[in-house]
Amino acid sequence: MIRLAEMIGQELASTVLSRAILDDRVAHAYGFVGPEGIGKMTAALAFAAALNCESHEPGDACGKCVSCRMIDQKGLPDVEIISPDGAQTKIDQMREMRRTAQFAPVRGKRKVVIVEQADTLNENSASAILKILEEPPPYLVIILLVRNPAMLLPTIRSRCLVVRFAYVNVRELAQALVERFDAKQEEAEFLAAFSEGRPGIAISLLGNESFFAWRNRIAELAERIVNSDLRAGLRLSEDLQSLASAETGDGITQRSAMRSALTALLQRYRDLLSISVHNSDGRGDPGRISRAIEALLWARRAVEGNANLQLTADVLMLRLVR
Ligand SMILES: [Zn+2]
């Protein structure tokens, strides 16, 4: 398991949580705020382990005692994870949580309830949590994992101690992937950048051969774009769209796949830029590559918004091949 002190690039969050234990000022409700894959669940489990650890590690878990090992295997009854049932966390799940929250911890010191994607709580589910928080049992800690704090009802937000999770410095993440996950340097650097500093995403792609095959096809596409002229633009746009489609599947929408493809392409262009800057043999024009990077950033923002994907890809390629 990962201890608070071992979280990659989340010193602020792990210090806040450690400090709370050391000072015996643990709140009843936390809102862990940050994007997907940043480490909210990892931190919630590390915090739960630190709260229930049976050895005397100050402000953190030992990672070795029975309680820590049970949490690692998601087998400690005092730590409960509530995931959305479909698109929403249902009122029944919250009622059940409210019922079980009344029972003291079975083994540990604290009962920890981790609510995943708490942005999906509707009015009814949220009010069930609020009712618990009006008079929380002394042992209860509720941790709400939230991607978009604006989606959290203000009544809930005002009751939570908010802990923010920041994007991890890309170099620091790459280094951690090499040192702790035995990744190769090149793979680590690519994943750190591609995940934009989100350790969960980077780790999930480590050693994933089909992902790297896909990444190589994106790099080939970049090569072709650089060597093409305007006439090839729309053809390249189709190629980009079909490469993006190859990445759709399990919960990955066309839009998020296109975003991934653009991020991988962007990464390739950043490499090209650094090659062109460091090479004096005139390979690649840094000015042109910089403009291409601008165009890619524009396209990615458009895709993140509600822009038509095909149109965005078409316009992008026409800007890239010029
Ligand atoms: Zn322990």
Contacts of 261 (CB under 8 A, 6+ apart): 218, 240, 243, 244, 247
pLDDT at 251: 66
d(CA 277, CA 130): 57
State the distance from the centre of ligand 1 to the C-alpha of 11, rounded, in angstroms.
Answer: 20
pLDDT at 294: 95
Is the per-residue pLDDT at 282 higher than 60? Answer: no
State the distance from the centre of ligand 1 to the C-alpha of 4, rounded, in angstroms.
Answer: 12
Contacts of 263 (CB under 8 A, 6+ apart): 194, 196, 300
Is the per-residue pLDDT at 283 higher than 70? Answer: no
Question: Computed from CA positions of residues 257, 262, 263, 268, in that sequence, does the dihedral angle turn out positive or negative?
Answer: positive
State the distance from the centre of ligand 1 to the C-alpha of 178, rounded, in angstroms.
Answer: 27
Q: For residues 84 and 121, is the Cβ–Cβ distance under 8 A?
A: no
- The predicted-structure confidence for 223-259, as pLDDT tens digits, reads as follows 899 888 888 889 999 999 998 888 776 667 888 889 9
Most confident of the following: 99-113, 147-161, 242-256, 297-311: 297-311
pLDDT at 250: 66
Beta bridge partners of 249: 252
State the distance from the centre of ligand 1 to the C-alpha of 44, rounded, in angstroms.
Answer: 15
Nearest to 296 by CA among 257, 256, 269: 269
- The predicted-structure confidence for 150-198, as pLDDT tens digits, reads as follows 888 888 888 999 999 999 999 999 999 999 999 999 999 999 999 999 9
State the distance from the centre of ligand 1 to the C-alpha of 48, rounded, in angstroms.
Answer: 10
State the distance from the centre of ligand 1 to the C-alpha of 60, rounded, in angstroms.
Answer: 8
State the distance from the centre of ligand 1 to the C-alpha of 80, rounded, in angstroms.
Answer: 18
User: What percent of the chain lies above the pLDDT cut of 70?
Assistant: 98
Q: What is the mean pLDDT of the chain?
A: 90
d(CA 91, CA 124): 6
Q: 94: pLDDT confidence band, cut at 50, 70 and 90?
A: confident
- The predicted-structure confidence for 4-57, as pLDDT tens digits, reads as follows 999 999 999 999 999 999 999 999 999 999 999 999 999 999 999 999 999 988
321: its two tokens: 């091949």
The average pLDDT across 124-132 equals 86
State the distance from the centre of ligand 1 to the C-alpha of 55, rounded, in angstroms.
Answer: 5
pLDDT at 279: 72
280: its two tokens: 């004096």
Domains in the chain (CATH in brackets) are 4-164 (3.40.50.300), 208-321 (1.20.120)
Q: How would you classify residue 89: left for phi > 0, otherwise alpha for psi between -120 and 50, otherwise beta?
A: beta
Q: 125: pLDDT confidence band, cut at 50, 70 and 90?
A: confident
Say which residue, 128 or 46, is predicted with more confidence. 46
State the distance from the centre of ligand 1 to the C-alpha of 53, rounded, in angstroms.
Answer: 4
